[in-house]
Amino acid sequence: MDIFCKIIKGESPCYKIYEDDDVLAFLDISQKYFGHTLVVPKKHFANTLDCDDEILKKVILATKKIAKHYVDDCGVSGVNILNNNGKEAGQMVEHLHYHIIPQGKECKGKEKMDFVEQQKILKLN
């Protein structure tokens, strides 16, 4: 079982940002960027190419909702939305995920901020 399936099952911890019936979003563990967030379907799909269209729509709409929340409500200037498909394309975890990376001068120097503090600033529900 991959690490994101374990997080979804509650068998591994995460700093949750958003959850609905089909989607979970949580902070990326790498701490390279402030607010680096991963958006994943609760049902396992390896990547975008493998994903059921209805679920993919839900994941993308949740990604948009979270990214818009960061810009509209959390004082972030812009966001990168990224998705890797396959090992050769840099995908390390074989469970579909979209990266949201907040950008702007307000994010600089906050990369190592405590996860609980980041969660307080960015949490959507």
List contacts with ligand AMP (CB under 6 A).
3, 12, 14, 28-30, 38, 84, 90-93
For residue 84, the minimal CB distance to ligand AMP (Å) is 4
Q: Is 97 a catalytic residue?
A: yes
Q: What is the separation of C-alpha 83 from the centre of its chain, rounded to a whole number of angstroms?
A: 10
Rg of the chain (C-alpha set): 14
Q: Which is nearer to ligand AMP, 11 or 72 (CB)?
A: 11
For residue 92, the minimal CB distance to ligand AMP (Å) is 4
Angle at 116 between CA 114 and CA 119, to 5 degrees: 110
CA atoms within 13 A on the CB side of 125: 10
Q: Which is nearer to ligand AMP, 30 or 105 (CB)?
A: 30
Residue tagged active-site, from 69, 95, 97, 99: 97
Q: Which is nearer to ligand AMP, 22 or 94 (CB)?
A: 94
22-to-39, 40, 75, 89 alpha-carbon distances in Å: 11, 9, 27, 26
For residue 112, the minimal CB distance to ligand AMP (Å) is 14
List, by residue number, the catalytic residues.
Answer: 97
